[in-house]
Amino acid sequence: MLNRSSSDDCPFCHGESNTLFQKNQLPILECQSCRHRFSKSPHCAHDHVTIEFSNDYFSGGTGCYDSYDAQMPDLKRQGKYYSKLLRRFLKSDTGSNRVLDVGAAAGFFLQSFIDDRWHGVGIEANAMMAAHGRNKLGLDIRHTTIEQFETSERFDAATVVQVLPHLIDPVASLQKIHRHLNRDGLLLVETWNCKSWTARCFGKWWHEYNPPSVLHWFTKSSLSKLLEENGFQIIEIGRPTKWISLGNGLAIVRKSMQDSKLASALLAPSKLIPSAFKLPYCFDDVFWLLSRKK
């Protein structure tokens, strides 16, 4: 039987929520009005970023990544794909349009936009990653969060790739991005679909049910509604082509399934395969959504 939690109102519509199950000793909640799924961080906004996105998040297999550096070719390929996608919908393609990448990490994704003649600015909460992008790649990556980001600059597009579910307050963050976009500016969001076949099949062991690192779980319709309510018009929705290394896949399994019997069964055969071995990500639980500032 589901437990009602009157104190945990939906962060979007403020409706009452029920606890679906517990993960990492935190409740996964579902709003009874809009059906948004969410959790609550045990940390304040500053500590949430410091603790959940420390250096360990990007390496060693204890966080999200076995090795973030090893993802460079795939992230650059992904950036190239999205750069071309955004250019198709620019109202004015000057060849030197400005893009804001929220959650830029070391800048591998952003680098492809620069290579495609964009002027790019990255925002990254992890100091080590931001410094790597500045010092090694020569990119304009600023050590801050979208919540704290302040500038007089305006951008023709913003990218929020695998970032929105990690934010304590997605509404405030989307409103901040909206203010920093030029008229008719584009917003690209890539995230996970909690009502996909894959998510339903794995249930509580789905890799994205990972609070407090992940705090929000969207569907195509719920993300569309959230964007529409915060000043954006939906243009197009699609699925990206993604590759994943065995090492990163195992890091995700260890993080999401912990010491379960299912995790042991999935991890056992992996000892025979190099961690750098890459596979196409063929599941249906990831999507992108492109919108325009109203």
My answer on whether 160 and 207 are in the same domain is yes
Q: What are 127-173's pLDDT values in tens digits?
A: 999 999 999 999 999 999 999 999 999 999 999 999 999 999 999 99
Return the pLDDT at 3. Answer: 45
> By mean pLDDT, which of 53-57, 189-193, 226-230, 284-288 is the weakest?
53-57
Q: Which residues pair with 92 in a beta bridge?
A: none
Nearest to 37 by CA among 29, 45, 27: 29
Higher-confidence residue of 165 and 1: namely 165
Q: What are 197-238's pLDDT values in tens digits?
A: 999 999 999 999 999 999 999 999 999 999 999 999 999 999
Return the pLDDT at 200. Answer: 96
My answer on whether 187 and 109 are in the same domain is yes
My answer on whether 115 and 140 are in the same domain is yes
- For the chain, the domain total comes to 2
My answer on whether 119 and 240 are in the same domain is yes
Q: Residue 252: which domain range?
A: 45-293
Higher-confidence residue of 76 and 256: namely 76
Query: Can you say whether the dihedral through the CA atoms of 226, 290, 248, 142 is positive or negative?
Result: negative
My answer on whether 33 and 117 are in the same domain is no
My answer on whether 106 and 2 are in the same domain is no
pLDDT band of residue 2 (cuts 50, 70, 90) is very low
Query: What is the distance between the alpha carbons of residues 88 and 242, in angstroms, rounded to a whole number?
Result: 21
My answer on whether 95 and 10 are in the same domain is no
Query: What is the distance between the alpha carbons of residues 273 and 232, in angstroms, rounded to a whole number?
Result: 45
Q: To 5 degrees, how large is the angle CA 288–CA 291–CA 292?
A: 155
